[in-house]
């Protein structure tokens, strides 16, 4: 078992037991890319929350067929037994006085 920590934005719910969280990775050279994680938890979160997640790292390689009928491989990134801290709540989209 390996433990990991990510900081990212909640993108969407994954059924009733998890969330897709997008993390931005930045290298020392300044390059950036987006990584999507599946975080399995019953902790209620809101889409758009910026969170810090600690938990058990899980990686699974799977094969799928793309839109052209060709076999492809991908690595699913999961965090299990997660402890989640909301660092910044999603922006309130309700009515605001102007």
Tell me the per-residue pLDDT of 12-31, one tens digit each, with 9 for 90 and over: 999 988 999 999 999 999 99
Residue 95 lies in a domain: no
pLDDT tens-digit series, residues 36-64: 999 999 899 999 999 999 999 999 999 99
Q: How many domains does the chain have?
A: 1
Distance of alpha carbon 59 from alpha carbon 88, whole angstroms: 27
80 domain residue, yes or no: yes
Is residue 94 in a domain? no
Q: Is residue 14 part of a domain?
A: yes
Instruction: Say which residue the tokens 């209620």 belong to.
Output: 44
Strand ranges for 14-70 from DSSP E? 18-26, 32-40, 50-65
CATH number, domain of 57, equals 2.40.50.140
């Amino acid at each position: 078992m390996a433990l990991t920590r990510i900081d990212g934005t909640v993108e969407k719910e994954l059924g009733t037991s998890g969330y897709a969280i997008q993390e931005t990775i930045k290298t020392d050279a300044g390059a950036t890319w987006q990584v999507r994680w599946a975080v399995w938890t019953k902790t209620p979160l809101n889409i758009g929350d910026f969170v810090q997640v600690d938990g058990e790292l899980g990686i699974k390689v799977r094969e799928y067929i793309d839109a052209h009928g060709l076999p492809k491989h991908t690595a699913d990134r999961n965090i299990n037994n997660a402890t989640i801290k909301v660092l910044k709540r999603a922006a309130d989209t309700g009515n605001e006085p102007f």
